[in-house]
Homo-oligomer: A and B are copies of this chain.
Amino acid sequence: MAVIAPSRRVRRTPFSDGVEAAGVKGYTVYNHMLLPTVFRSVEEDYRHLKEAVQVWDVAVERQVEVRGPDAGRLMQMLTPRDLRGMLPGQCYYVPMVDETGGMLNDPVALKLSEDRYWISIADSDLLFWVKGIAYGFRLDVMVDEPDVSPLAIQGPKADELAARVFGDGVRDIRFFRYGWFDFEGTSFVVARSGYSKQGGFEIYVEGTEHGMPLWNALMEAGRDLDVHAGCPNLIERIEGGLLSYGNDMTRSNTPHECGLGRFCSTQTAIGCVGRDALLRVAQEGPIRQVRALSITGDLPPCDRLWPVLAGDERVGQVTSCAWSPDFQTNVAIGMVRMTHWDPGTQLSVETQSGRFDAEVQAGFWI
């Protein structure tokens, strides 16, 4: 396996020193920044995530800050989700699409105040799109990438660990809500969210200089909880059906194809880009959609799109796959045509190492 070459273009994070000290073994690049992918082994990390608590460097979830009198109008232009009811203190998962309804990103938006939002992005330069729209429509907003780097606490003991560092108040944060909590005299956004199904928080660390002190404090406070450095885990996120932008959805897909139709209020999200394109699909439904698939056999790594076949007819694609120790099968995320998406449908998958049997599941493994 090839190593990742060092360069300033692939940015380090405020937590990189901690990640290296913890013995990171693999990286990917996400938003022009290093994202750890494995510490001990993907399977050991997985087991530990489900049983204890991990601290994750997810600084790659860069923020697009939108600020100014037109911030609310711009935000509603960016997503088909109806934002009228959104209040400060809330996080909204907001699919963002282009004029054809194609996914550009699937970020989480935080409303900081009536005229200020953070958009916590997946892996694409959404900043460029937001700036382009703001400029084209001459909106009265500032759009920028602030010095904010999320650090996640994930796992069944996340509440206990977070409470030890930020106080018991964090236990009361509801899902997809956030509050402001102090660490060493500075106040940070702490949200109940994160890219796992094990529960936990994301701390929006504002100011690079606070990165390592917080990292170290969490590691120290969690010693008896068996805290470890971790990262989004391939197996756990596929089991849980957590889609990854660039893997399981791209600009070729509508939110409805990605199973995100419930976040699209195409009738009421007035002014959103892509509304015309999405109205029909909202009414009729997509003709292909994300499905959980189990695949049998000793598979190669899913480093490319795998065609899904019914006989020799192509009826879909698999885009993420991993062996699940808990479910004793290869768990996979794919996109399947409606003719073949019913649970129990027997299909095959064409990989770089040949064909393997697959079955459409009724849902993900959680």
Q: A residues engaging B (CB < 8 A)?
A: 1-12, 24-29, 32, 36-38, 98-99, 104, 123-126, 128-133, 135-137, 234, 244-247, 273, 301-305, 319-320
B-side contacts of A32, CB under 8 Å = 123-124, 246
- Given known A-B contacts A128-B124, A128-B129, A246-B32, A6 and B301 have beta carbons under 8 A apart: yes
Beta-carbon contact of A2 and B27 below 8 Å: yes
In the bound complex, residues from chain B placing their C-beta under 8 Å from that of A11 are 304
List 5 tightest A-B contacts by C-beta distance, closest first.
A136-B136, A132-B132, A9-B246, A6-B303, A29-B29
Q: CA of A244 to CA of B11 in the docked complex: distance in angstroms?
A: 14
- Complex Cα distance, B137 from A150, in Å, reads 35
Copies in the complex: 2
- CB < 8 Å: which of B10, B24, B131, B234 contacts A132? B131
B residues near A136, Cβ cutoff 8 Å: 132-133, 135-137
CA distance A12 to B133 in the complex (A): 31
* Contact between chains at A247 and B4 (CB < 8 Å): no
Selected A-B contacts with CB under 8 Å, 14 pairs: A1-B4, A2-B36, A5-B38, A7-B302, A8-B304, A9-B245, A12-B304, A29-B29, A126-B128, A128-B129, A129-B132, A132-B132, A132-B136, A136-B136
Q: A8-B320, A9-B244 are in contact. List 9 more A-B contacts (CB 8 A).
A: A2-B25, A3-B25, A3-B26, A5-B27, A7-B244, A7-B302, A8-B319, A104-B128, A131-B132
Q: Once the chains bind, are B247 and A8 in contact (CB under 8 Å)?
A: yes
Q: Which residue of B lies closest to A99 (CB)?
A: B135
Bound-state Cα–Cα, A327 to B124, Å: 39
Given contacts A125-B125, A129-B132, A133-B132, contact A7 B28 (CB under 8 A): yes
Residue of B with least CB distance to A27: B2
Residues A98 and B131 in contact in the complex (CB < 8 Å), given A4-B27, A32-B123: yes
Q: How far is the CA of A1 from the CA of B5 in the complex (A)?
A: 9
CA separation between A273 and B135, bound complex, in Å?
9
Contact B3 A28 (CB under 8 A): no
